[in-house]
Each structure stands twice: as structure tokens, then as C-alpha cells.
């Protein structure tokens, strides 16, 4: 297995493409199955793409030479996750009343705080 990872220049584009393609198809098929229930899941599990993305992502993290940070993408993803979690919290906590607003604010800012503390 050592010879497999010794050829990092050849493996890195392959596993990067496998990760990005698997992740894209997972999101696409999952969203399609969400819109039309059973359209995809009747024939195969969309989670196979997630498993492939996980394996390729782990391999990619092992063979990558340089890591570049993309602050604009990170901010966009963190804001999107916070917004999505806040919407889900708002939807599923209708019985809380006044405390609902404060819980939604905490959930909205939690990804931003985690991102800040993880990058320090």
C-alpha cells in the first residue's frame, strides 16, 4: 500500500475528481428524490454516492500536497449552513413561543463561532 500513496502526483487529481463528482451527484440525486419521492431511491440508494465521496475525500486529504484556504467560499458555506439550520429550527420549534427567536439566533450564529474557533 505504500507504493500506492508514493505516486501522489498521479493519485491526487483522480481522487479529487472522484470526491467532487460523487458529492455533486449525491446532492443532485438526493434533491431529485426529495422533489419526486421514489424517483431515485426505488432503483438504488443515493447514499452510495455519499460513501464514495467519503472514501475519495479521505484519500484526497491524505495525498494532497498543499492546502489552500478560500475565505470567500468558507464564509458562504458557513452563512448558508447557519441560515439552513435556523430555518429548520424555526420550522420544528413552533411550540416554544417567545424563546423560539433566541434559539434560532443561537443556531444561526453557531456555525460562524465554530468556524472562527477552529481557524484560530
Residue 66, burial from CB neighbour count under 10 angstroms (0-12, 13-18, 19+): exposed
pLDDT digits (tens, 9 = 90+) for 19-61: 889 989 988 888 888 888 888 888 888 888 889 988 988 888 8
Instruction: State which residues form the domain around 116.
Output: 69-120
C-alpha span between 47 and 6 (Å, rounded): 30
Same domain, yes or no: 88 and 59: no
Same domain, yes or no: 32 and 53: yes
Cβ atoms of 108 and 85 closer than 8 Å: yes
| Domain termination residue (choose one: 67, 84, 99) | 67
Dihedral (CA of 23, 25, 27, 33) sign: negative
Q: What is the mean pLDDT of residues 68-78?
A: 77
CA torsion angle for 104, 109, 110, 112 (degrees, to 10)?
160
- Is residue 7 over pLDDT 80? no
Same domain, yes or no: 77 and 111: yes
- What pLDDT is stored for residue 105 in this prediction? 92
Same domain, yes or no: 5 and 56: yes
Q: Quick one: pLDDT band at residue 2, thresholds 50, 70, 90?
A: low
Same domain, yes or no: 13 and 46: yes
pLDDT digits (tens, 9 = 90+) for 74-109: 788 888 888 888 888 888 888 887 888 899 999 999
Same domain, yes or no: 92 and 114: yes
Same domain, yes or no: 59 and 79: no
Same domain, yes or no: 23 and 53: yes
Number of domains in the chain: 2
Same domain, yes or no: 101 and 50: no
Same domain, yes or no: 58 and 96: no
Same domain, yes or no: 62 and 41: yes
Same domain, yes or no: 90 and 41: no
Amino acid at each position: 500500500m505504500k507504493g500506492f500513496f508514493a505516486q501522489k502526483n498521479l493519485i491526487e487529481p483522480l481522487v479529487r475528481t472522484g470526491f467532487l463528482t460523487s458529492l455533486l451527484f449525491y446532492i443532485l440525486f438526493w434533491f431529485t428524490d426529495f422533489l419526486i419521492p421514489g424517483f431515485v431511491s426505488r432503483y438504488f440508494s443515493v447514499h452510495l454516492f455519499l460513501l464514495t465521496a467519503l472514501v475519495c475525500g479521505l484519500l484526497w486529504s491524505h495525498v494532497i500536497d498543499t492546502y489552500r484556504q478560500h475565505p470567500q467560499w468558507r464564509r458562504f458555506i458557513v452563512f448558508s449552513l447557519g441560515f439552513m439550520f435556523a430555518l429548520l429550527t424555526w420550522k420544528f420549534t413552533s411550540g416554544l413561543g417567545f424563546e423560539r427567536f433566541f434559539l434560532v439566533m443561537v443556531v444561526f450564529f453557531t456555525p460562524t463561532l465554530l468556524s472562527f474557533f477552529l481557524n484560530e
